[in-house]
């Protein structure tokens, strides 16, 4: 008899719903508490012309968090290896906490470090899950690509 993890009984739809709800909550808190600071989004647009509008960034992260939830739902179905099952939730948590550990988007240095860490972590997680579910590794490549783009778009020489 196959033993499932406590979260294993969840369907992919529950994972997706939870991820989208959490993403909307975090994006709502960023908006309500103006974590970017008054006018910061406009200054960012002038200083970093490659960055899309804040609503686009929030939408992209909502989709990426949903992708992570989908990948996790499939990993739970395919493996019992704890060393694999904790990786995507760790990446998910890292991405959710990005606004907090970068000082509410106010520190360029912390933002760069956060981007590089997220880039490295997402690449590592994608590599680690490759053997368990190759499509999931490709899907997490979207997080790698977005993190790489964000790092490039906000880098100043």
Are 111 and 102 within 8 A, CB to CB? yes
pLDDT in tens, 83-132: 999 999 999 999 988 888 877 667 788 888 999 999 999 999 999 999 99
Percent residues over pLDDT 90 in the chain: 45
The mean of the pLDDT values for the chain is 83
Distances 56 to 5, 52, 59, 62 between C-alpha atoms, Å: 35, 6, 5, 10
- DSSP state letter for 59: H
Confidence band for 33, pLDDT divided at 50, 70 and 90: low
pLDDT in tens, 72-86: 999 999 999 999 999
Contacts of 128 (CB under 8 A, 6+ apart): 83, 84, 87
Taking the whole predicted model, whether its pTM rises above 0.75 is answered as: yes
Return d(Cα 98, Cα 112) in angstroms, integer.
11
Return d(Cα 147, Cα 121) in angstroms, integer.
10
Structure tokens at 149: 């783009």
């Amino acid at each position: 008899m196959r033993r499932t993890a406590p979260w294993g009984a969840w369907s992919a739809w529950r994972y997706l719903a939870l991820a989208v709800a959490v993403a909307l909550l975090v994006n709502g808190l960023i908006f309500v508490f103006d974590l970017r600071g008054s006018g910061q989004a406009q200054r960012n647009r002038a200083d970093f012309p490659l960055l899309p509008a804040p609503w686009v960034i929030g939408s992209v992260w909502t989709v990426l968090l949903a992708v992570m939830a989908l990948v996790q739902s499939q990993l739970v179905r395919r493996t019992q290896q704890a060393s694999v099952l904790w990786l995507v939730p760790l990446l998910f948590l890292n991405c959710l906490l990005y606004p907090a550990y970068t000082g509410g988007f106010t520190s360029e240095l912390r933002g760069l470090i956060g981007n590089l860490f997220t880039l490295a972590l997402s690449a590592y997680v994608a590599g680690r899950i490759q053997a368990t579910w190759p499509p999931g590794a490709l899907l997490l490549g979207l997080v790698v690509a977005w993190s790489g783009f964000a790092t490039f778009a906000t880098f100043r020489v």
